[in-house]
Structure 1
Amino acid sequence: MRHIFLLLFLCISMTTLAQENYDSESYRVSLGDLESKTFTKDSTANALVIYEKAKSYVSKSDFDLRTEEKHKIKILKREGFEHATVEIHLYSNGSRVEKVEKILATTYTMVDGEVIKTKLEEDNIFTEKYDENHTLVKFTLPNVKVGSVISYSYTTISPFMMKYHGWSFQGSIPKLYSEYTPSIPGNWEYNIKLVGGQKLAINESEVEKNCLIAGNGASSHCFNARYAMKDIPAFIEEDYMTSKSNYLIKIEYDLKTFRRFDGTLEHFTKTWKTVDKELKSHAKIGKQLNKSVDLEDFLSEDIINETDLLKKAQSIYKHVQNNYNWDEEYLIFSETSVKDLIKNKSGNVASINILLHNLLKESGIEVKPILISTRENGFPTKIFPVIYDFNYLITQATINDKTYLLDATDKFLNFGEIPFKCLNEYGRLLDFKNGSDWIELKPYKPSNTYYQAELHFDDNGVLIGNIKSKRTGYHALNKRKSYFSNKNSYLDKLENTFPYIEISDFEVTSEGATSEDYKENYNIEYNFDEAGNNIYLNPFFVKFFSENPFKLQQRTYPIDFGYKDTYFYMFKLEIAENYKVIEMPKNLNLSLPNDAGQILFSANQLANTLNLTLKIDFKRSKYDAEYYPFLKEFMNKIVNIQNNSIILLEKTN
């Protein structure tokens, strides 16, 4: 029997290998590329990049940057047809434009053992205006079917050496091989950044002497490199992540210095010391921050005369928060100034938080601005200043040796909270006297959720009870926004969430829309399932996670919750004398590796009281990708506990 199983295994393995014989070493379409029908490493993939290569170099004739690209892609499913449409983005600044030439594309399809080649006609290449500075050149490969292999190549020509051509090794479908070979003349010195944290399979470089020669006989050496990666998984976005630009495996270039052939230098990348000096004199940043304000024009005498600095700061914060509206503009260098904000009662992020900064400063409170890149915008570059990486500005206040991060754009934020979108690991604290520095962006308070449900049978055998809940941190912020934005809608949603429960006497017991927590209390009537003498109860009226958010086979980027949090659920059931407990859920104690999280679930009976508790503790705000399979199973356990925990009661008379 063992030999039979071994033979069967070998047959299956050989069949799988026969089905997949891709040539990832060449742009040429092979018979194996066409005959291969699957990609077992990712059965969800609708297409597969078998081979791609790009070469960038500076033209010796006109000094333009040329990039030659070649792509070979297998179409595995109908959903993969979208990859047969290619868009080439070209930039122009009015006087100078990027161009594309030598577009060649062919579809290869196997029909009855014969290879059919269909070439792209020039008439099917289209150009359209995208915006003021961008043009799209588009084409769709012809006669594409499931199983086809498409290949296409083209050359882009760019006069913009400020931004050397970068390369993305990772995309929305898996890749077997991706290679990039840049050649950079010594006149141009770039900061080179490899994003994605993955190792290159090939990382080679050499110096080519006299690769570029000027009209006056001067010459330059070139730095030639070869970068390649193999077996690159598809990047699929999932919950609990920051911008995908942080994690897509790619190489980027930013011009640092340009040396002309006459020896003169022009510097493009600056130091933070230089940037601080420029920001200090910037009309939209430094000059706005340094403007004095007359407190009497904004604040009441009670606020101005308050001697407790924390209470004073909180009152000033509420004044700005309640009297000025955010216009949904993120950009910190837009034309809206503090003067416009005061006049219109509406402005962008920077104007609102600069006004807050100036009022606090005028009131004797130590404040500094912080530049932030929001979660969707991506991490700001740390290795050198890229000021346009930032799209948000908040204020830091230091009161009694304690620091508070403040953002007055959101009507529901509590003093010391910043929006979730700002929890992007770090920001740049501006200090025009001592120099700016990086700071961590941490939540002001923990984010916790507590539920307490107490039930009993009334004289008519109806199961009734009370639910109390309390939330803190971002859990509270989300609930405050939902409830105080539209109370009726909130209640309707709450009742629809629990179709087997009738809710009455609902009340919110916390102080208001900006309170430090959110508390609610309501009575319920539970319409339980009854089968003969048996009653089936699911004790979880509230589900912290209704389904597992982690569904990928593999995740190559971190799981970023933004903050640590804890969930606690306590259920208490007073059992009537004519009932007895037949079945209860099983206890569970499960921890993530390195004690990074824990599930504690217990159910026990003491006399006529049944007690059930669930505690879920995420002890980190961010988990490396290595934790993904453990978190996936962790979430499975949570969902299973909430959905399948059954209490079985039996009537005894």
Structure 2
Amino acid sequence: MNKFFFFVAFILATNLIAQDQKFNTLNTIPSETDLKATTYQRDTTANAFYIFEEGFSQISVKRDYDLSTEYKAKIKILNKEGLKYANIEIPLVKTDHSSEKIYDLKAYTYTWENGKKVKHTLNQANVYKEEFETHDLIKFTFPDAKPGAVLVYSYELVSPYLFDFNTWRFQEYIPKEFSRFTAKIPANYEYYVTKRGELELKKADSRVAKQCIDFGGNSSIADCIETVYEMEKIPAFKAEDYLTAERNFMSRIEFELIQITHLDGYVKKFTKTWDDVDHELRTSKGIGRQLRRDGLVDELLPEEIRALPNNLDKAKAIYSYVQKNYTWNGEYNIHKDMNLKELIKDHTGNVLAINTLLHNLYDAEGFKVFPVMASTRRRGFPAKIHPVLSDFNYIFIQLELENEEYLLDATEKNLDFGRLPFRALNQYARKIDFENGSSWIDIIPKDFSQITFRDSLKIRKDGTSNGFSEQILTGYHALTLRNNMEETSEDEIFNKFSKPNAHTRAIETVLKNRDNLNEKLLIRYSLENKTQKINDRIYFNPFNFQFFTENPFKLEERNYPIDFGYKDAYLYSAIVEIPENYEIEELPKDKALRMSDGLGSLIFAARKISESTLNIQCRLSFGEAVYPSAYYEGLKKFFDEIIQVQTQSLIVLRENS
């Protein structure tokens, strides 16, 4: 009987939820359900959400053949935190000669009061414009906005920039119940159309609209291709750790003009090929010219470096020379004119200047070297299908030596030879070869960055323990610590970077190879642990340090990859000596986990190697730098297991009576 009542209650609750979800997704008219809703069942953490959104873009005759986008939206405010979405900003791009304009802006706030719908209209006097160098912002706040309100607004945006047909962003930082975009493009206008993000479209239907636009004159009426894109139940984009640029993964439709075929047959191209770009770079006053200025560096290297044979030792010496003698000013500016003379004189410059100097020194000494254009992790991925130079904001070099390829960047003082700064680890980049043509290269590090813990501990009869821990850091773990040590004393390293457990403290810290970048970074701690004795038993956690203090993955669902940047490994070994007159009552259980496809593993074991000595081994590895979103749930559970092993692995010792 109880089960029956539970089943009935469940059905009733399900029906109520379904009723709550029957929003008006046909237009911007607020329904009673829209106005009365107090939560969004698909995402109960949402403070606001779009009920309906629609856009229509076309080349408009009445707007003098500029690009017209009609936009309308209906937003539900659920609570006080959602009121920030009542503040609207509409960006308008501008140049010295032209600008985008906005027409027919309307905005209304709807509330449910005393059993009826009440409408509040935006006063146009409360619409403001903020002017900046490259754009303006149209700003307004919905009148009488409050929790429970439904906000509706619409406008027409007219743009002279046909090269970038309107990008439609299906996904934002709040959910959307429904979003539709229609693109009506003359058939003689050819665009690249790219869908970004992992969310699936509900609809992408195209039709031919006959004789849709008249360009004037005889035989000047053209057909159009009209495409309708729809998406529904769109989750909010929620950023989490191990993410590159958010713009890489937010679901949207992008357009870029390839060419216009005029009705007289003349073709005007807008998108360049990589051959065009290679020629442009080769002949430019910036990158191309400076890469050819080997004469500036003829006498720059010390004679003891120049006298070396062209082997790996000499390559490392040249790299170290630039790294130590020239300082990065924190700027990129790879598309601006750069003067190598100024860098050589001032010993300070941007990314382009420093890595161009490195390139030219190698080239002058007879090494085979190429510039590589890239985009930083925060910038986003550069387009692969066709060249977009503005996608690139970074440059480093590739050195080919003794059948090996080395990626080099001399902007960081603590970066070891053959490693890129973490900011540059954006999966792929474009190698510039003026003789054979440019090409894409993979820049994901092939080696593992590793931390090895080697502990030796002696437990006393009172449950306290002492000993030492030696930690060995390689790759990006070593780089991170070296970069931070300039602002951190050796005594602070223990708490800030080694992630000690609560029962562990350091008595003394010794650091080795701090400045020797090509050697492993070593830290040695003298340890003292608090007592863990209860009555006649000692409960001892053999982990003095943690790989991770918490699970970084907390989302219900993640629709973008997990990008660590590099492959990662942790090794933990400990020799534990137990006190006299104690015996081992319990050891933690062994654990051996492997992710699917062998992309990660966790192995833990505790072994008795004598009557008084235990050996603890734990190995953790992540075999890929980047995991597709399909692995998210598996990684989330994997991290739970890691945390559990580190916090709940207890050795129980019993005192003999």
TM-score (norm. length: structure 1): 0.96
- Are the equivalent residues in 2 in contact too, given 1:558–1:624 (CA < 8 A)? yes
Q: Which residue of 2 aligns with 1:619?
A: 623
Match of 1:432 among 425, 434, 437: 434
Aligned mates of 1:93, 1:494 — CA distance in 2: 48
- Check the 8 A contact 2:482/2:514 in 1, yes or no: no
Amino acid at match of 1:578: N
CA contact (8 A) 1:467 1:521 kept: yes
Paired residue for 1:528?
531
Deviation at 1:52, TM superposition (A): 0.4
1:156 and 2:160 equivalent? Answer: no
Which digits, 9 at most, give the CA deviation of each residue in 1:123-147, with x for residues without a partner? 2211111x21211001111222222
The CA deviation at 1:375 is 0.9
Q: Residue type matched to 2:592 in 1?
A: N
What is the total number of aligned residue pairs between the two structures?
Answer: 652
Equivalent residues of 1:99, 1:156 under 8 A apart: yes
SS of corresponding position for 2:378: helix
Q: Residue deviations 1:607-641, cap 9 Å, x none? A: 22122222111111111111111111111111122
Match of 2:541 among 514, 517, 538: 538
Q: Could you tell me which residue of structure 2 aligns to residue 578 of structure 1?
A: 581
Partner of 2:192: 191
Q: Distance in 1 between matches of 2:484 and 2:96?
A: 47
Is 1:321 equivalent to 2:323 in the alignment?
yes
In structure 2, do the counterparts of structure 1 residues 262 and 494 end up closer, same or farther at CA, with 3 Å as the change threshold?
A: closer
Residue deviations 1:401-437 (CA, integer Å, cap 9, x gap): 1110000000011010001111111111111111111
Once the two structures are overlaid, the 10-residue window that deviates more, 429-438 or 581-590, is 581-590
Corresponding residue number in structure 2 for 1:180: 181
Shift, 1:295, TM fit: 5.2
Residue by residue over 1:106-165, the C-alpha shift from the partner in whole angstroms, topping out at 9 and shown as x without a partner, is: 122223422222221212211111x21211001111222222211111111112212211
Is the CA contact 2:426–2:444 (under 8 Å) kept in the aligned structure 1? no
CA distances 1:488-520 after superposition (whole Å, capped 9, x unpaired): 453564699566434234222336252342111
> C-alpha separation between the residues in 2 aligned to 1:249 and 1:516?
44
- Secondary structure in 1 matching 2:294: coil
Question: Which ranges of structure 2 fall in alignment gaps of 5 or more residues?
Answer: none
In the other structure, the counterpart of 1:142 is 143
* DSSP 3-state at the match of 1:41: coil
Counterpart residue identity of residue 315, structure 1: A
2:633 aligned partner: 629
Residue 31 of structure 1: aligned partner:
32
Match of 2:521 in 1: 518
Q: 1:442 to 1:457 in 2, by over 3 A?
A: same
User: Matched residues in 2 for 1:578 and 1:530: separation?
Assistant: 14
- 1:549 aligned residue (549, 552, 558): 552
Q: 1:63 matched to which residue of 2?
A: 65
The answer to whether the 8 A contact 1:495-1:502 is kept is no
Secondary structure of residue in 2 paired with 1:536 = strand
Aligned to 2:475: 473
Q: Tell me, yes or no, if the aligned pair for 2:463 and 2:531 is still in contact at 8 Å.
A: no
SS of the equivalent of 2:84 reads: helix
Moved more, 535-544 or 620-629: 535-544
Superposed CA offset, 1:565-616 (max 9, x none): 1111112210011223334322222222222211112223332212222211
Amino acid at match of 1:191: Y
Closer, same or farther: CA 110–421 of 1 in aligned 2, 3 Å: same
| Inter-CA distance 280–296: structure 2 relative to 1 (3 Å threshold) | closer
**Contact 1:91 / 1:134 at 8 angstroms: preserved in 2?**
yes
Q: Is the 8 A contact 1:18 1:36 kept in 2?
A: no
For the 8 Å contact 2:499–2:545, the answer to whether it is kept is no
Residue 271 of structure 1, CA deviation: 1.0
Counterpart CA distance in 1 for 2:494 and 2:546 is 17
Matched residue of 2:295: which SS? coil
Aligned mates of 1:428, 1:461 — CA distance in 2: 59
Residue equivalent to 2:11: 10
| Cα shift at 1:202 | 0.9
Give the stretch that moved more between structures: 498-507 or 566-575: 498-507
Instruction: Say which SS state the counterpart of residue 282 (structure 2) adopts.
Output: helix
Which residue identity lines up with residue 38 of structure 1 in the other structure?
Answer: T
Residue correspondence of structure 1 range 375-390 to structure 2 within 5 A:
375-390=377-392
Cα distance in structure 2, aligned partners of 1:444 and 1:509: 26
Q: Equivalent of 1:264, from 258, 266, 269?
A: 266
In structure 2, what is the equivalent of residue 605 of structure 1?
608
In structure 2, the residue corresponding to 1:42 is in which secondary structure? coil
Shift of 1:44: 1.4
CA distance in 2, matches of 1:534, 1:132: 71
Which consecutive residues of structure 1, in runs of 5 or more, have no partner in the other structure? none
> Which of 250, 253, 274 is the matching residue for 2:255?
253
Question: What amino acid sits opposite 2:400 in the alignment?
Answer: T
Contact 2:463 2:538 in 1 (8 A): no
The residue type equivalent to 1:343 in the other structure is K
- Given that 1:295 and 1:304 are in contact with CA atoms closer than 8 Å, whether structure 2 keeps it comes out as no
1:261-410 pair list within 5 angstroms: 261-293=263-295, 297-410=299-412
User: CA offsets per residue over residues 516-575 of structure 1, 9 Å max, x none?
Assistant: 421111211112233333333322221111011111111000111111111111122100
Contact 1:546 1:639 (C-alpha < 8 Å) held by counterparts: yes
- Of residues 88, 91, 97 in structure 1, which corresponds to 2:90? 88
- Tell me the equivalent position of 2:217: 216
Kept after mapping to 2: 8 A contact 1:19/1:37: no
**Which amino acid in the other structure matches residue 22 of structure 1?**
F
Q: Is the 8 Å Cα contact of residues 495 and 503 (structure 1) preserved in structure 2?
A: no
Q: Are 2:649 and 1:648 equivalent residues in the alignment?
A: no
Asked whether the 8 Å contact 1:411–1:514 carries over to 2, the reply is: no
Q: Which range is displaced more, 357-366 or 106-115?
A: 106-115
Q: How big is the shift at 1:221?
A: 2.0
Of 556, 561, 568, which residue of structure 2 is paired with 1:558? 561
Conserved in 1, the CA contact under 8 Å of 2:453 and 2:470? Answer: yes
AA partner of residue 576 (structure 1) = P
- Residues 294-332 of structure 1, C-alpha deviations (whole Å, 9 max, x = no match): 655221111111125111110000000011111111221
In structure 2, the CA distance between the partners of 1:290 and 1:516, relative to structure 1 (3 Å rule), is same
Over residues 370-410 of structure 1, what are the superposed CA-to-partner deviations in whole Å (9 max), with x where a residue is unaligned?
A: 11111111111000111111111111111111110000000
Question: 1:459: Cα distance to partner?
Answer: 8.9
SS at match of 1:147: coil
**Deviations 1:335-391, CA, capped at 9 Å, x for gaps:** 332122111111111111111011011111110111111111111100011111111
Partner Cα separation in structure 1 for residue 69 and residue 81 of structure 2:
29
Cα separation, partners in 2 of 1:459 and 1:539, compared to 1, 3 Å:
closer
TM-superposed CA distance for 1:461, in Å, is 7.2
Query: Which has the higher mean CA deviation after the structures are superposed, 338-347 or 523-532?
Result: 523-532
Which segment is superposed worse, 210-219 or 194-203? Answer: 210-219
How much does 1:45 deviate? 1.4
Alpha carbons of structure 1 residues 168 and 145: separation in structure 2 relative to 1, 3 Å: same
CA distance in 2, matches of 1:338, 1:94: 30
DSSP 3-state at the match of 1:377: coil
SS at match of 2:18: helix
Q: Decide whether the 8 Å contact of 1:404 with 1:444 is kept in 2.
A: no
State how far apart, in whole Å, the 2-side matches of 1:648 and 1:144 are: 61
Distance 1:141 1:513, change over 3 A: farther
The question of whether the paired residues in 2 share the 8 Å contact of 1:480 and 1:514 is answered with no
Instruction: State the identity as a percent.
Output: 38
Q: Which moved more, 1:487-496 or 1:110-119?
A: 487-496
Change (3 A) 1:365 1:487: farther
Matching residue's letter, 1:507? V
How has the CA–CA distance of structure 1 residues 494 and 295 changed in structure 2, closer, same or farther, with 3 Å as cutoff?
A: closer
Task: Find the residue that maps to 1:297 and give its secondary structure.
Answer: coil
Q: Which deviations, in whole Å up to 9, do the C-alpha atoms of 1:213-244 show, x marking residues without a partner?
A: 13323222222111111111111111011111
Find the aligned partners of 1:590 and 1:515 in 2 and give their Cα distance: 33
CA distance in 2, matches of 1:557, 1:461: 47
Aligned AA (2:539): Y
Which residue number in structure 2 is paired with residue 411 of structure 1? 413
Contact 1:417 1:444 (C-alpha < 8 Å) held by counterparts: no
More moved, 256-265 vs 544-553: 256-265
